[in-house]
Every structure is written in C-alpha cells, then in structure tokens.
C-alpha cells in the first residue's frame, strides 16, 4: 500500500500543500475551516508525520541551542533553566554548550550550532564572533542574546542596566563616607564588562571620589584573578576602605582573600557586589548586593524565544533593559 503524503492530505482537504504544512507544524496563521479540513483529512487517510521527513521538509530540527558563558555560574544556569522549561513546552530539545568567556571556544561552539541546524539560538555571548552569529541570523534562525550584546550585530536582547547598577553601587558606598573605593571588574572586551566598569568610573568622577588608578583592578571575571586583585588592594600603602566587585564569581575570590588576610567584613572593610542574592543567602554577615532580576530575565527570554518560533511574520528586534536593585545587607558600614 502506498504511503500517504502531505500532498495527498492537502488534495483531500482542498487546500494547498503550504496550508497543510502549517497545520502539521502548528506554525503560521490558518483559518479554522482549513485547519479542521486538514485534521479531518489526516484522520480519514491515516496520515502520520514522520519526524525526520518533517525536519527535512521544513528545516525544523526541534533543537534549540543555548550557549552560555559559564555553566558553574548559578545566576546564568538559573536563566538557562527557565529557557529549558520553555523549550520542553515547545516539544523541542535543548543543546547546551559553554564557552567559558573564550572567543575561540565560542567560535567552535557556534560552528557546531550551525552544523546542527538548530531552530533558534539563545546566547550569553563573549561579544565577539559577530560574523558567525550574523551567519546564523541569515538562515532565518532567531538569535536571542542575554546579559551582553554581540558587538555590531543586532539581535533580540535582554540585559541588566549594568552601567546604572555600578554607578549606584559606588554612589551607595560614597554615601556611607567612603572615599577610597577599590573596584574589581571583569574586562572591557564585551558590553557587560565595559558598562560595569564605566558606570563605576562615572560615579567616582561625579562624586569627586579618589580616582587613583591603583584602586581599579581587572580580574577577567575569574575567581582566581579576583583573589589576587583583592590581595593587591589590601597590601597597598593606603588600602581601600571599601571594595565593589562586579560579579558573583569574582566576589568568591575577594571573600577568600579577605579571609586569608584576616580582614573582617564590615569592621575592617566594606564590601558590595553585583550579582544575584540566592548564592549568598546563607552568608554572614549578609552581603550587600546590586541584584539582578534573574527570574524575570529568564521568563522574558523564554517568552521572546517562544514568540520568535511561533509568529512567522517579521517584527523589530526586541531590546529589554532591566534595572537592578540594591539590597542592603550587613557588609557595608559608615565611616
């Protein structure tokens, strides 16, 4: 017996093959009458969708790539978890990769993603490799960037207002009387690194705070380098009275350095960090944080992903900038 094809279903339902395909793949607008006619035809003809054939016909793989910067970062993995739940609800599978903030590793991962012909890419980018991300976009594959921009490439984007968060962190420390403030930042190679550094520098300038360059230390968003940076700050002839650390991973290194040097928080030094509060909820004294709306970022990224896959018509790229908020703990004191 000859196998029933989608063309047979279309002819039986009195619609085009394109309309029948939209109904089968639940993608694009189809009138209720046409939808009902196609579904009735599939039942009467005994048509079943072959997953591999559907993938070849529609270039739909039912795979969505999530490329993150650091799978050991609880904040980033919490976002990935929200995205994964949405991916499962779309009857798709998540392909998870990590680049560890290494552009070459990211490039290799992007080439794998291109080979996999995924339906969409959710990425926490290094900021580089725009040529490959543009190549993915040119195949009509939705690209959603989280946490950082891809330099010179327009994508859907959901980020914190990193400049604002850093500015307000320094402003808060200054309101407590601190003039010598150490800043441990990531780097200037991507938007998140630049914005967090520049926000701190702008607040230092606006507040007429001591702008000695020795108080600024790059740590590449790494725990080990942040540990070294903190030791260097503490061993200066005039050490800072407060430290602002620009992410969770580096804050771990700073805390280890303070412990090893037997420096008490906040008695000997004040500390504020940019990051989510879940990682630090058991810490004593409670850490003062510029917190990221982690849950909201994950949910809105997931909804944006769903919309890009469900709605076939073109609409402008979405950019959502979310303001972080200060949670006062017990790690900062007035002087």
Taking the chain (335 residues) in runs of 10, the rounded mean pLDDT of each run is: 79 90 76 86 71 49 92 84 92 94 94 91 94 89 93 93 98 98 96 96 98 97 97 97 96 98 97 90 94 88 93 88 95 97
Question: Can 63-160+294-322 and 162-292 be said to share one CATH topology?
Answer: yes
Give the CB-side neighbour count of residue 126, counting CA atoms within 13 A. 21
pLDDT of residue 57: 39
Q: What is the 3-state secondary structure (H, E, C) of the chain?
A: CCCCCHHHHHHHHCCCHHHHHHHHHCCCCCCHHHHHHHHHHHHHHCCCCCHHHHHHHHCCCCEEEEEECCCCCHHHHHHHHHHHHHHHHCCCEEEEEECCCCHHHHHHHHHHHHHHCCCEEEECCCCCCHHHHHHHHCCCCCEEEECCCCCCCCCEEEEECHHHHHHHHHHHHHHCCCCCEEEEECCCCCHHHHHHHHHHHHHHHHCCCCCCHHHEEECCCCHHHHHHHHHHHHCCCCCCCEEEECCHHHHHHHHHHHHHCCCCCCCCCEEEEECCCHHHCCCCCCCEEEECCHHHHHHHHHHHHHHHHHCCCCCCCCEEEECCEEECCCCCCCC
pLDDT of residue 23: 82
Q: Does domain 6-58 have CATH number 1.10.260.40?
A: yes
pLDDT of residue 50: 53
Q: How do strand 319-322 and strand 156-160 relate by DSSP bridges?
A: parallel
pLDDT of residue 59: 56
pLDDT of residue 52: 43
Task: List the one residue out of 273, 279, 230 whose CA is nearest residue 254.
Answer: 230
- What CATH number belongs to 162-292? 3.40.50.2300
Token digits for 200?
Answer: 């701190």
pLDDT of residue 106: 96
Tell me which CATH homologous superfamily contains domain 63-160+294-322.
Response regulator (3.40.50.2300)
* Burial of residue 328 (number of CB atoms within 10 Å: 0-12, 13-18, 19+): exposed
pLDDT of residue 54: 47
Q: pTM of the entire structure?
A: 0.77
Domain ranges (residues) in the chain: 6-58, 63-160+294-322, 162-292
Ramachandran quadrant class, 324 (left: phi over 0; alpha: psi -120 to 50; beta: rest):
beta
């Amino acid at each position: 017996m000859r196998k029933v094809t989608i063309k047979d279903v279309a002819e039986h339902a009195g619609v085009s093959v394109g309309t029948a395909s939209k109904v089968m793949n639940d993608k694009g607008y189809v009138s209720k009458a046409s939808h009902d006619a196609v579904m009735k035809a599939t039942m009467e003809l005994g048509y079943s969708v072959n997953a591999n054939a559907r993938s070849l016909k529609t270039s739909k793989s039912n795979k969505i790539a999530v490329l993150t910067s650091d799978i050991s970062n609880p904040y980033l993995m919490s976002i990935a978890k929200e995205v994964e739940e949405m991916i499962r609800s779309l009857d798709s599978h998540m392909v998870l990769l990590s680049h560890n903030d290494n552009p070459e590793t990211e490039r290799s991962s992007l080439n794998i993603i291109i080979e996999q012909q995924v339906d969409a890419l959710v990425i926490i980018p290094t900021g580089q490799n725009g040529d490959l991300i543009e190549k993915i976009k040119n195949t009509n594959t939705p690209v959603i960037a989280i946490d950082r921009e891809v330099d010179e490439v327009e994508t859907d984007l959901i980020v914190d207002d990193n400049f604002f968060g850093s500015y307000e962190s320094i402003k808060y420390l200054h309101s407590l009387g601190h003039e010598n403030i150490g800043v441990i930042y990531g780097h200037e190679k991507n938007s998140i690194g630049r914005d967090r550094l520049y926000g701190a520098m702008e607040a230092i300038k606006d507040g007429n705070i001591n702008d000695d360059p020795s108080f600024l230390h790059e740590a590449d968003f790494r725990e080990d380098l942040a540990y070294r940076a903190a030791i260097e700050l503490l061993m200066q002839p005039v050490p800072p009275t407060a430290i602002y650390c620009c992410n969770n991973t580096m804050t771990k290194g700073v805390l280890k350095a303070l412990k090893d040097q037997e420096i008490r928080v906040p008695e000997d030094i004040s500390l504020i960090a940019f990051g989510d509060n879940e990682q630090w909820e058991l810490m004593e004294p409670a850490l003062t944080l510029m917190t990221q709306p982690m849950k909201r970022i994950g949910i809105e990224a997931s909804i944006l992903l769903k919309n890009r896959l469900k709605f076939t018509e073109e609409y402008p790229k979405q950019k959502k900038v979310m303001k972080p908020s200060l949670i006062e703990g017990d790690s900062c004191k007035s002087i």
